[in-house]
Chain A
Amino acid sequence: MAIGRILVANRGEIALRVIRTCERLGIETVLAASKADLGSLPARRATRTLCIGPAQAAQSYLSAPTIVQAALGSGCDAIHPGYGFLSERAELARLCETEGVIFIGPTSGQIEAVGDKLRARTEALAAGVPVVPGGPAATRAEAVQLGREMGAPLLVKAVGGGGGRGMKRVDDLAHLEEVLELASAEAAAAFGDDRVYLERFVGRGRHVELQVLGDGAGRVIHLGERDCSVQRRYQKLIEETPAPELPESLRDELREAGARFAEHLAYRGAGTVEFLVDVDRNKFYFLEMNARIQVEHPVTEEVCGIDLVEQQIAIASGQGLTLSQADVRLNGAAIECRINAEDPSRDFAPSPGVVRQAVWPGGEGIRVDTHIGSGSMVPPFYDSLMAKIIAHGSTRAEALARLRQALDDTRIVGVATNLAFHRRVLADPEFAAGGVDTAYLARLAARDPALLEA
């Protein structure tokens, strides 16, 4: 079914990003915006904007019935959920399925299959994809037994957690039982699910993820991997493709494994299969699958020249995959910095307010995905992402040089940002060499204490 009008159920840069592709494809957009976002750039750019509720996300962006009602009432054929908010809630996908609205994403069943970490792990094993050694800890005795087999250090993780939340490290097995008890109680309080599982602790790990597209009937292609190892408290800050300094055999195996996982699910739409690369053991393990467009998708688009949102729409409208694996040519390298409105002098606390002046960079190989211009508001109710600055080059060195220049050309007045932080990281020889692990930022901060206060 051809899609003529899409409800964009998101805000910020991704809402504008989706609207842009729709404009190019001649598709009308209806933006579902909270009261706090009615004056935003996406609200001004959409064909029509509906006020769906108050600033509080629970009563606006997180209300699935309201979103579907807005789509039905404004004659939309489809809903694009963006990332975050309702994008990976099976509730919205299911409601779309029963109401006959196209959900631009996977099926509700697929969201459920990958949303539950234990189930995703089982699916990975069934697909022959390596997982981090470990397993469920249903009973105390079972957990202790498993912990002995695995050896310390290990991690106790909440089934409902993610992004670094609901996770505890055990260095001495003597403490395993008490940590299990604590983790389980905390998980119940934080996620409404007290199930925990054990996982091998990887000393030096890299976060490498594979971008896939699936037609929903079992055919899957991949668009290369992204390295997102530059993280602060599990928040990704810099992402790039291809993953630098990765052994070629490991890269090939990882790409194959990620595609195999998505094939096993007969995955529909754009998705990302996340892996932990164990640097010391030269192995990779499946972590989880993100059943949505990712924040960092532009680096992939820059090297392959494919508009992922366009592909999402094509798949959702029933055209299937219009590309074969042979059509995907990965050209050069791309690096992205996430520019957040946060204050380094206050431990990177969000720094909402009015942006008095915003000057974004341009030039060859530079792309800026943002919803912020001079006079824009960064409301205090949502995440603090202001922009993604992406540099593409024929080599990583060229992309890096362009990105450094782009950051120097950027000027934000009115709110505090992490721009200076990014400049310091990009100037660091270890980052420039490539292939850093997830503990890199903490190491850099120890070497350069001013980094986290810049």
Chain B
Amino acid sequence: MSLSREDLEQVMKLFEQSSFSELKLETGDLKLHLRKAGASSAAVAAPVAHEPVVLAPPVPAASALPPLDAGETDVLSPLLGVFYRAPKPGEPPFVEVGQAVEETTIIGIVEVMKLMNSARAGVKGTVVAIHVPNGEMVEYEQPLIRVRAAG
């Protein structure tokens, strides 16, 4: 028996409305582990290979992003480090949703042990989403923002 994406969404919805705080479901090669944290609920689904997958309390870095529409590009982090949206605390962010960017526009800073590296858009267009909150650690090539290409 295998579950489709719709089935999974249904399970998650039912779980959310239920009075249970945790749900573990194993079927075929799928292992689903849902846990409510306080009022909100967190969901993690992981495919099982040969070995049991331990679900970690650390936040999974690559949380699923909506699929790219035609003409959209995700700007990827050039390094692992801490992502900053503004040049300094309290200052306005480098870019906001709706803003136009050039290839060379700085969209944020990635700090590696006090060394600041600027991240550039690399594409000309309009910012349509900011994927990473200020001050969060990002992995190498983790999507930072989304840009809809001009033209």
Contact = CB atoms under 8 A, between A and B. Distances in A.
Contacts of A99: 113
A69 B82 contact: yes
Interface size class of B (residues with CB under 8 A): 20 to 34
Nearest to B50: A373
Contact of A69 (B50, B80, B141): B80
Contacts of B139: 50-52
B140 A69 contact: no
A52 to B, nearest CB: 5
Nearest to B55: A47
Nearest to A98: B113
Contacts of A65: 112-113, 115
A44 B51 contact: yes
A28 interface: yes
Contacts of A52: 80, 139-140
A329 to B, nearest CB: 33
B26 to A, nearest CB: 17
A74 B80 contact: no
A75 B56 CA distance: 12
A73 B82 contact: yes
B134 interface: no
Interface residues of A, number: 26
Nearest to A50: B139
A51 B51 contact: no
Interface in B18-74: 49-51, 53-54, 56-58, 60-61
Nearest to A99: B113
A30 interface: yes
Given A68-B113, A69-B137, A53 B58 contact: no
Contacts of A60: 140
Given A44-B51, A65-B113, A69-B80, A54 B58 contact: no
Contacts of B142: 51
Contacts of B61: 48, 50
Contact of B54 (A47, A63, A95): A47
A66 B58 contact: no
A48 B49 contact: no
B112 A69 contact: yes
Nearest to B110: A69
A65 B58 CA distance: 21
A44 B140 contact: no
A30 B112 contact: no
A45 interface: yes
B130 interface: no
Nearest to B48: A44
A28 B113 contact: no
Given A44-B51, A69-B112, A69-B113, A53 B56 contact: no
B11 interface: no
Interface in B93-151: 111-113, 115, 137, 139-142
A53 B51 contact: no
Contacts of B57: 28
B12 interface: no
Nearest to A60: B140
A30 B58 contact: yes
Contact of B79 (A35, A53, A74, A95): A53
A74 B56 CA distance: 11
A73 B137 contact: yes
Contact of B51 (A45, A66, A68): A45
Contacts of B137: 69-70, 73-74
A63 B79 CA distance: 11
B49 A44 contact: yes
- Nearest 8 interchain pairs by C-beta: A73-B137, A65-B113, A51-B139, A47-B56, A51-B140, A48-B56, A53-B140, A52-B80
7 contacts: A23-B54, A35-B141, A50-B61, A66-B81, A69-B82, A69-B113, A70-B137
Interface of A: 23, 28, 30, 35, 44-45, 47-48, 50-54, 60, 63, 65-66, 68-70, 73-75, 95, 99, 373
